[in-house]
Structure 1
Amino acid sequence: MLKLTDLRGSRRDPRGILPRAQLDVSVAVERIRPVVEAVHQRGFEAIREYTTKFDGVDLTRLRVPEEAIVAAGEALEPEIREALLESISRARRVHRDQRRQEVTTQVVDGGTVTERWIPVRRVGLYVPGGLAVYPSTVVMNVVPAQEAGVDALVVASPPQKENGGLPDARVLAACALLGVDEVYSVGGAQAVAMLGYGSRGRAEVDGAAGIEHCEPVDMITGPGNIWVTAAKRILQGTVGIDAEAGPTEIAILADDTADPRHVAADLISQAEHDPLAASVLVTDSEALVEAVEAVLAPMAAATKHAERVRTSLTGDQSGVVLVDDLEQGLAVVDAYAAEHLEIQTRDARQWAMRVRNAGAIFVGAWSPVSLGDYAAGSNHVLPTAGCARHSSGLSVQSFLRGIHVVEYDEAALKDVARHVVALANAEDLPAHGEAVKARFER
């Protein structure tokens, strides 16, 4: 099923020849810009119009009633409740340890610089609801924001026809478990625009009309489809964003010790997300490739979302990359910079600790990506499309801003004044120097 790229004997930079989804966000930006601008200009009226067009739901109000969130939490199946609570608990343990401490540096006698870490005030958390619904993504967005100390959390998720125009009941239940009560039944680009610009809107409750207001946020996080990504690009600068997340991807670096059924199952697990999802195996073992291919097709055919999986696995974004040895394999996965990277080799941890570029690394046979998606304690909102070369996954730090507090006394400023003046004059900004000299002129 998988296309083969043979890099054995090659010393070329692999970045241009590795399997990769061909997505042009800039094209999507121009197509979705009218939606974003309409929401900016017309608020609820535009949101209602595009929600009817894209989701087939006629919104009478934007905000989910608090009682509906509570009811969803109370109606949650015990097995799912237990699993979500365990996921929340493990995520809290990991993210709590990411908190940063205020640090004061004594630069000179009488002169200090303190770095404070201040949380973003209000954050919009987007939770997808297209081909699948993701209560786990509520956990992954909300927990680090709460641990960072964010004051106000706002969740937006697409309305579902089968849930009376509200977001999926499991998404609402996750919000209830986490204490999030500001939730909006809005998805896609119109949700991003609403979060970024805010929206005054009508609300019809028990037949009575009223006004409800979504206050703009300072930052938007969370994954979504290409239209959500394009809208986030448009809003970047107006608000902060976490990243431009694309379709999910997995790369597996494996040798002849890997279990072919484990490898096949893990490739399929990511392929079921989306027809554009990428599943890539990097190995120096032809025997492993043959064994994986032997089990991959029947396993893929037997899975629930077989057509989606087949489309993903046979697409240009998926494939097998054959390498001379694991050293070359390491160079290939670093060039690919996968969202999820599994290491299924001898001495797996040794190889994992040498990886430079990945959103998250899963070490050995007993750490599949599925574990990280739900209950490892790590975060599953991760950089895609090679962005792991320069970006990190969602964490407590994503919601914190470093602010330097500078405090010098008179003697400390006088001691360094000549250097400030010299540098100001060198840059032809003499008024900068005068601002210092004025303090010592009587």
Structure 2
Amino acid sequence: MNVPVVNPRIILESSQDEICLTGFNFCLDCRAGSCKRHGIVGTTVSEADRESTRQALELIGWLPPELKILVACQLNVATLFSIKHAPAFREPLWDNPRNRSTILRKVLERFSLEGAAFPQSFLQDSTVAREILDGAVIPDSDSRLSTLPHYLLFLEVFHKATNAVAEFLAEELLPVDFRSCHFIFRAFLMPFWRLFGVKTASTAAETEAAAHEQSIHRKQEVIDYYMALPPEARDSLVRNILSLGKLYQERHPLDLVARGVDPGLAAEIMEQSVVGTVTAYFMIEYLRAGMQAVFKQASSGGRVAAREAFSRGGMAPWAAAVGGNGGGHASDAHPGIVPIELDAWTYRAVVTEHTVALLRPQNHRADLLWELLRASRLPAGARLDWKSYDQASSRTNIIWRIPRARRDRDDQDDLK
């Protein structure tokens, strides 16, 4: 059988952990590798990069003020605020209130998508940000500039990371003729940072029970964000997950016959909504893990390699969990029951005479797809309690029971 080979030395992580969205240093000196205050050693900026920047700024220094403004608006955040100390830029740009206001307004416009997903209050409410900013929460429009560099750096990290993820997804999932349209992914990727991410990492828990309680609080933060979205935005987000899962399946077909499934049964399963549900759950974990890795790359100030970040440690598409038996046929002990291992990051299927049951992956406690689908039907202002869901879900691993003949019309519509 042509079953994907799993390297036993590579164990795929469960990919259930939220991304700590403020888990990087906001200090501009630290990101340049030259901070005495925090004692950061090493640098992500080479001497060649520094020299190139110095030469460029020297040339820009000869430009008239109006052109300096245009150029300044396109500089990276660290360089933009560093030139405040250069005489050629300080007087015409930063010491002039009108020019300074123009520059900051245009930079914020450049990061408008990121700013919509992450208002400045998100950063100021963060424990990590408070520590780095010495507890400064400054609403005053004049003194706000002291925290604005950190906020713009925060937005720039997500701008850089989102661009990298969008370009990768376009290259990975779209036909060749459409790969230049990666910009279409940018807008709908922004809410995913909030769907998979939380403001801060929790402090280390001393017990397993405490760690689980922290996990519930983090997931509640995520679901509260989702429920605060307008119903149409929630519905759009879920449909984007389903669409991306469908694109992935088209690019990397799930071959059930290669897994030992009877061709007739495989064809029946592929014709139903089973595959759409499976690929949607997979896409949530695929995006969560890949975006987390890209975020770490971008927040360190170094090179962003999205393909590497989404490589799953070298695991092939639709690689069964390490230790899984692959399934595909009934056992002597359980005749009439066909288990099918699909991928380490999505449901396990169990086929009986009348139904296809989908079980959570090994080591996965939460099913975000199920909760998103349920929440998308609720009116604006409704609230979901993740702790109640967690207690209910701990009693069974079976998430979906899909009749083999025909599903209920409402469920079919959810998964189109």
In which range does the TM-score fall when normalised by the shorter chain?
under 0.3
More strand by share: 1
TM-score by length of 2: 0.25
